[in-house]
Amino acid sequence: MTASVTVATGFLRSPSVSKSQNTSFLFTRQRISPKNSSVRPISASASELPENVRSFWKWLGDQGVVSAKSAAEPAVVPEGLGLVARRDIGRNEVVLEIPKRLWISPETAAASKIGALCGGLKPWVSVALFLIREKYDEDSAWRVYLDVLPESTDSTIFWSEEELAELKGTQLLSNTLGAKEYLENEFSKLEQEILKPNKDMFPSGITVDDFMWAFGILRSRAFSRLRGQDLVLIPLADLINHNPEIKTEDYAYEIKGAGLFSRDLLFSLKSPVYVKAGGQVYIQYDVNKSNAELALDYGFVESNPNRNSYTLTIEILESDPFFGDKLDIAETNGMAETGYFDIVEGQSLPAGMLQYIRLVALGGSDAFLLESIFSNTIWGHLELPVSRSNEELICRVVRDACKSALSGFATTIEEDEKLLEEGKLDPRMELAIKVRIGEKKVLQQIDQIFKDRELELDVLEYYQERRLKDLGLVGEQGEIIFWE
């Protein structure tokens, strides 16, 4: 069992951005959860709004996108800017429609003055580069839109070192640092391959902070999963804020044709719920994101326990003497050399997790299950305990890993909850505390699951017993039947 212990002891790792080679996962939607507060629509108090917002609204009018009949308009709201209903809006009613000529996408970058330089870039990098260049161009056609974009968000990628220190022990911290390292590497390549060789095309002094800004804008505001569009900024539509009380993402927006005889496309935004005149229009950003993901993407978290999760990372090490056999079995069953399992507070373990970890820990006298004769049935066998030694090993290793992760936090759940009760916290500090509490609760839950399992080791039924029963060699009381 030594080899299996070696394999399993390092299984719990904090996944970083390198968890996926597909950077499309980096881009989703926008900012912050709603709070109860008054709203100031443009039509009600235009003089109180920043000039840049008024200019933006006028620009949209000049483009024929909005008019006196528009259902919603920009307004100052607790989240910063949002969309407010100018009249009652029904459920699934269209709130606004934005033509493709006003979208910012990889196509926009390709058609711009720097388009010839964007061909070999990742789509999101080309859009980021486009945004940076346009931001520094006072005569940019996108000037009024760029002027309403924030300089930063509360996403953890914009936190100071002191603020990040409050995330000590969390996977959110490691993911944030991983994202920042990823961005620095991407900018370094961009600087060497594009910016320096083409200084005449770009303003001087573009820095990694500019690149970080563009990344933050895309991460927090870009729409994805659209028909034929993986990454697109939609001016005005991207002011829509998130409401946790809206439980579905379905039908909130879509791409459709502009008309029967038109080749143009429209981005159509709908309200998933009824909104009374003067109320803010909301959507659900993503029902499946954890609080850590919401914090990294948008800079907010929810109180919903189902948003609390922790990712267990389990891997088959190349040093395992059965590495090839285990990898073949894993791949045959839709897994890989490394498995990522998101454990959610209050929910059972993810499908396939116990099978995968039993496979990783398989060794010693249990290794016969890796023989080719079992290749078509082993995954089914792994649904149930293989042997006491295998089950004991996975329980011990998981519990040790949970305890190790919990020891990385500087505070207890009780101490964090007391801080929340006392109130008067900076928003980022409050976010950090809520993420710490959530991750610790899930780690304690995982530990308890495997602690309970340890207590059942003597009464669990293992492979050899099941096999004997199938052969009719075990009696009703569990005794082995012998013949003379």
Contact between residue 265 and residue 56 where contact means Cβ atoms under 8 Å apart: no
Q: Is 460 annotated as a binding residue?
A: no
Q: Of the candidates 26, 68, 60, which has an alpha carbon nearest to the alpha carbon of residue 43?
A: 68
Longest CA–CA separation in the chain, Å: 101
Tell me what pLDDT residue 325 has. Answer: 95
Residue spans per domain, the chain: 100-298, 305-466
Tell me what pLDDT residue 224 has. Answer: 75
Same fold, 100-298 and 305-466: no
Q: Where are the alpha helices (DSSP H) in 298-426?
A: 323-332, 353-361, 378-381, 388-406, 413-422
Q: Is 463 annotated as a binding residue?
A: no
Q: Is the pLDDT of residue 10 over 50?
A: no
As its CATH architecture, domain 100-298 has: Alpha-Beta Complex (3.90)
Residue written as tokens 């008024």? 54
Count of C-beta atoms within a 10 Å radius of residue 193: 13
Tell me what pLDDT residue 204 has. Answer: 84
Give percent above pLDDT 70 in the chain: 85
Q: Is the pLDDT of residue 453 over 60?
A: yes
The DSSP bridge pattern shows strands 265-270 and 241-242 to be unpaired
Tell me what pLDDT residue 322 has. Answer: 96
Q: Is the pLDDT of residue 250 over 70?
A: yes
pLDDT grade, residue 18 (50/70/90)? very low
Q: Is 69 helix (H, G, I), strand (E, B) or coil?
A: coil
Tell me what pLDDT residue 411 has. Answer: 97
pLDDT grade, residue 38 (50/70/90)? very low
As its CATH architecture, domain 305-466 has: Alpha-Beta Complex (3.90)
pLDDT tens, position by position, 48-70: 789 999 999 999 999 999 999 99
pLDDT grade, residue 14 (50/70/90)? very low
Predicted TM-score (pTM) of this structure: 0.86
Buried/exposed 381-406: b ≥16 CB within 10 Å, e otherwise:
bbeebbbebbbbbbbbbbbebbeebb
Catalytic residue among 145, 274, 282, 285: 285
Q: Is 467 annotated as a binding residue?
A: no
Q: Of the candidates 446, 444, 450, 421, which has an alpha carbon nearest to the alpha carbon of residue 434?
A: 421
Q: Of the candidates 442, 431, 438, which has an alpha carbon nearest to the alpha carbon of residue 295?
A: 431
- Dihedral through CA 55, CA 57, CA 61, CA 64, nearest 10? 120
- Tokens (6 digits) for 66: 């909005």
Q: Is 274 annotated as a binding residue?
A: no
Give percent above pLDDT 90 in the chain: 76
Tell me what pLDDT residue 472 has. Answer: 60
Single-letter amino acid code for the residue at 14: S
The DSSP bridge pattern shows strands 309-315 and 265-270 to be unpaired
Q: Is 342 annotated as a binding residue?
A: no
Q: Is 296 annotated as a binding residue?
A: no
pLDDT tens, position by position, 209-222: 999 999 999 999 99
Contact between residue 202 and residue 211 where contact means Cβ atoms under 8 Å apart: no
Tell me what pLDDT residue 477 has. Answer: 55
pLDDT tens, position by position, 65-103: 999 999 999 999 998 999 999 999 999 999 999 999 999
Q: Is 344 helix (H, G, I), strand (E, B) or coil?
A: strand
Tell me what pLDDT residue 203 has. Answer: 84
Tell me what pLDDT residue 32 has. Answer: 44
Average per-residue pLDDT in the chain?
87
pLDDT grade, residue 3 (50/70/90)? very low
285 counts as catalytic: yes
pLDDT grade, residue 259 (50/70/90)? low
Tell me what pLDDT residue 356 has. Answer: 97
Q: Is 285 annotated as a binding residue?
A: yes
Q: Is 282 annotated as a binding residue?
A: no
Tell me what pLDDT residue 44 has. Answer: 45
pLDDT tens, position by position, 191-246: 999 999 999 999 888 999 999 999 999 999 998 766 556 789 999 999 999 999 99
* d(C-alpha 99, C-alpha 154), whole Å: 30
Contact between residue 23 and residue 55 where contact means Cβ atoms under 8 Å apart: no
Can you say how many angstroms the Cα of residue 275 is from the centroid of all Cα atoms in its chain?
28
Residue written as tokens 């034929």? 228
Contact between residue 239 and residue 81 where contact means Cβ atoms under 8 Å apart: yes
Tell me what pLDDT residue 480 has. Answer: 53
Residues 6+ apart with CB under 8 A from 411: 419, 436
Compare 476 and 181 and report the one with higher pLDDT: 181
pLDDT tens, position by position, 371-418: 989 988 999 999 999 999 999 999 999 999 999 999 999 999 999 999
